[in-house]
Amino acid sequence: MKNVIDRFLEYVKVDTQSQDDVEAVPSTEKQRNLAKILVKELKEIGASNVRLSDNCYVYATIPANTDKKLPVIGFVSHMDTSNAISGANVKPQIIKNYDGGEIVLNKDLNIKMSPIDYPSLTLSKGKDLIVTDGTTLLGADDKAGVAEIMTLAETLLTHPEIEHGTIQIGFTPDEEVGRGVDFFDVEGFGADFAYTVDGGELGEIEYENFNAASGKLQIQGRSIHPGSAKNKMVNALLLAMEFQNMLPAHEDPMHTENYEGFYMLNALEGTVDSARAVYIIRDHDKEQFEAKKARFLKIGEYLNEKYGDGTFTVEVKDSYYNMKEKVEPHMHLIDNARRAMEELGVTPIVVPIRGGTDGARLSYMGLPCPNICTGGSNFHGRYEYIPVQSMEKVVEILLKIVEIYATQENSK
C-alpha cells in the first residue's frame, strides 16, 4: 500500500497551475495530467465508478460494506495549484527532525525560511518538514488533500474490517481561479454531505468563509505628448491610483484579520491612454459585503462625474458566499469532525476562512460541505511547508470521521 507521503511527493511534481481569465474549464490542459494519474490509481486500488469528465473532474465511489442505513459521505479536494508563483519543476525536500531554527531552502540562491518571519514553524519542532527548494511553491494546497483522500480510499478498500457506508470522492480543477465547481456534478456525486480537505494547519475546521466578489476597472485616459499636455492629458494610470486612494486604507488585507473584510488591488496594468485594474472584495458579513460592493461602484460613478462619462467602466461580479447559513442546519458535520480530532489527540481549531473553498459553492448547490485541515502552512509561495506527521494524522482524522458516521445510523 502506498503511503500518503509517497503520493504527495509524486503529485507535487506534476505541474497543475490554473490560469485566471480563461473561459474554458479546465483553464489549463496540464491539469489533466494529474487527473489521469488519479483515475489510473483509483482503478488500481479497486474503487468503483471511476470516471474523468470532459471538464477534468475526477469521481470515484468506495461502496458501503455494511447493511446499515448510513449517510453517503463525500470527500473533495482540488488538483490545481495557485499561479502566484511557479508550480513547474517542484523539487520538494524533507527536513528530518526539524530543530526549530532557520531552514536553508536554497544555498545557491541564499533563500532561507526563519521562524522569526514564520512563527508557526516553532509548532513543528521535532517533526519532519516537507519544504520547497525556494524557487517554486510546494503545492500542498491542495495536493496534500488529494494525497490524504487517496490514502483514505486505499485504506478503506484494503481493510474490510473498517465498517463504513458509501464514500464518494471528487477531485476538481480550477479551484484557485474560482471556478472549481462550475461543472461539478452534485446529483451524480450522490453524497448527502461532504468535506473539502483543503484547510491549513492541523486541527483546523472551517464552516465560515468570506462572501466574495471580483471588481474590474477599465479606465480610458487621453494620451498627449507631455510637451503640450497642459489641460489636455488624462493619465489613466493616475486615475487608477485616484480610485485606489478613495478606498478605505484600513480595509486592505495588510491591515485586516479574523472576520474583517477588505478590498485588494490584485492587478494593475496600462499606459497613459488606458489602464485596467482587478480587485477582489471580501467580507464575512453579508450586509457589509453589499456595502463594500456599493462603495466600489459609487466611486466609479463619482469619478465619471468628475472626468466624464465612460472614463471608468466598473464591473462587480459575485464569486461565492459564506457557507455558514448552509452548514449550520447540519452541525453534525462540525461536531463529528471535532470529535474525531479529539479522540486522536488533536486540538480542534474552529476558525473562519479568510478566503473560500469549493465547499462554499457546493454548499449553495445543495451539498453541505465544510472544510477541514490538510496540515500545511504558507500556501501559494516559496515558503510553503507541511509536516509529514500532520499529513499522516489527517488521514487518521478522515478515517475516524468515517468510523463515527458508521456508528450513527439514520444520521443524515
Separation between Cα atoms, residue 198 and residue 387, nearest integer Å: 15
> How far are the Cα atoms of 111, 230, 281, 283, 342 from residue 253, in angstroms, in the given order?
25, 37, 10, 11, 33
Beta carbons within 8 Å of 47's beta carbon, 6+ residues apart: 60, 61, 62, 153, 157, 169
End-to-end CA distance of the chain: 32
Task: Find the DSSP H helices in 221-356.
Answer: 236-245, 286-307, 324-327, 332-343
Torsion of CA 320, 326, 331, 335, to 10 degrees: -10
Torsion of CA 104, 110, 111, 113, to 10 degrees: 40
Separation between Cα atoms, residue 57 and residue 164, nearest integer Å: 24
Catalytic amino acids? Answer: 80, 175
- Please answer whether residues 98 and 125 qualify as being in contact, where contact means their C-beta atoms are separated by less than 8 angstroms: yes
> Which residue, among 123, 233, 228, 179, has the nearest Cα to 361 in the 3D structure?
179
- Please answer whether residues 148 and 377 qualify as being in contact, where contact means their C-beta atoms are separated by less than 8 angstroms: no
Torsion of CA 39, 11, 78, 211, to 10 degrees: 180
Sequence letter at residue 7: R
Separation between Cα atoms, residue 398 and residue 293, nearest integer Å: 38
Separation between Cα atoms, residue 348 and residue 252, nearest integer Å: 29
CA atoms within 13 A on the CB side of 147: 28
- Please answer whether residues 80 and 174 qualify as being in contact, where contact means their C-beta atoms are separated by less than 8 angstroms: yes
DSSP class per residue in 218-253? EEE-B---GGG-TTT-B-HHHHHHHHHHTS-GGGSG
Other Cβ atoms within 10 Å of 186 Cβ, number: 16
